[in-house]
Amino acid sequence: MGPLTRTVELFYDVLSPYSWLGFEILCRYQNIWNINLQLRPSLITGIMKDSGNKPPGLLPRKGLYMANDLKLLRHHLQIPIHFPKDFLSVMLEKGSLSAMRFLTAVNLEHPEMLEKASRELWMRVWSRVSVGLWESSGRTLDDFLTFPRHVFRVMILPPPGGSTVLPVTPLSPHRLPAVFSSSQNEDITEPQSILAAAEKAGMPAEQAQGLLEKIATPKVKNQLKETTEAACRYGAFGLPITVAHVDGQTHMLFGSDRMELLAHLLGNQVQWLTPVIPALW
């Protein structure tokens, strides 16, 4: 009798940087480990409220630490995450309600698109990359990530006679997985931004528009609410949480740094091969 396929749920919000990190690691392992990865779009603000917790970035030293931590993890995990200077504004004022409702709608109607759509939304919040019109900004994504925003605002002007953006110089594949593409710094509360992310994920424009129209329906609102409540019942006080169902037991693991422990819980037939699986290169 072969090994059973175990269900692993990932509850996440695109507003949460560590959710992106956990998401990418699990996406890498879903085809190597015998797991059924279930993505669960949730609302981190709802979890904070329900648990009485507060965003860690509100404590100055934690905010400083997160900025450095993400910078180191960017290289270690090979995920182009960039801590925006106005992250408190992004986190607290703008929120992610529309985006997470959109992903909820995607999950209800086109679940096969959920992984890519989620990734593109994270790229919009957490990967400030733009390409200048008449100036190549570098050979690797790292060069892009260091450009200050005001430079890009100046640079992105329509040239005389046309307004197409120059294609991105192909990035050295050994620096990043091919799944990442550049995206512009856009506010994910704006419908246009959500549509752009969906289209970049490969969704036809009409399909994306149709799903966007559904985000205010009771069905979608309630589903997001239920998923968020499910996370709370598992004991969440933040995101991401990974819930592993193994041998009749349920284990809730918080954060993006419990994946090696997850491998241990899944047992002898799985192996932890570092957060960047060598076979992918």
Give contact residues for a second copy (rule: CB under 8 A): 51-53, 59-62, 64-65, 68-69, 72-73, 75-76, 235-237, 251-255, 257-258, 260-261, 264-265, 272, 274-275
Nearer to a second copy, 226 or 260 (CB): 260
Tell me the residue ranges of DSSP E strands in the chain.
6-12, 35-41, 241-246, 249-254
Q: Which residues contact 165 (CB under 8 A, 6 or more apart)?
A: 131, 133, 156
Q: What is the DSSP letter of 92?
A: I
Cβ of residue 103: shortest distance to a second copy, in angstroms? 24
Cβ of residue 233: shortest distance to a second copy, in angstroms? 11
Q: Name the CA radius of gyration of the chain, rounded.
A: 19
Tokens standing for 26? 């699990």
Q: How far is CA 212 from the centre of its chain?
A: 19
CB 231 within 8 Å of CB 241: yes
Cβ of residue 227: shortest distance to a second copy, in angstroms? 18
Cβ of residue 204: shortest distance to a second copy, in angstroms? 40
Nearer to a second copy, 21 or 188 (CB): 21
Tokens standing for 72? 């180191």
Half-sphere exposure of residue 189: CA atoms within 13 angstroms, side-chain side: 9
Cβ of residue 76: shortest distance to a second copy, in angstroms? 5
What are the two backbone dihedrals, phi and then psi, of residue 250, each rounded to the nearest 5 degrees? -120, 125
User: 191-200 and 97-109 are packed helices; what angle lies between their axes, rounded to 10 degrees?
Assistant: 40
Exposed, middle or buried: residue 93 (CB in 10 Å: 0-12, 13-18, 19+)?
exposed
d(Cα 189, Cα 248) in Å, to the nearest integer? Answer: 40
Cβ of residue 94: shortest distance to a second copy, in angstroms? 25
Using alpha carbons, select from 238, 235, 221, 193 the residue that is nearest to residue 22. Answer: 238
Nearer to a second copy, 190 or 257 (CB): 257
Nearer to a second copy, 59 or 165 (CB): 59
First to last CA, the chain: 33
Cβ of residue 53: shortest distance to a second copy, in angstroms? 6
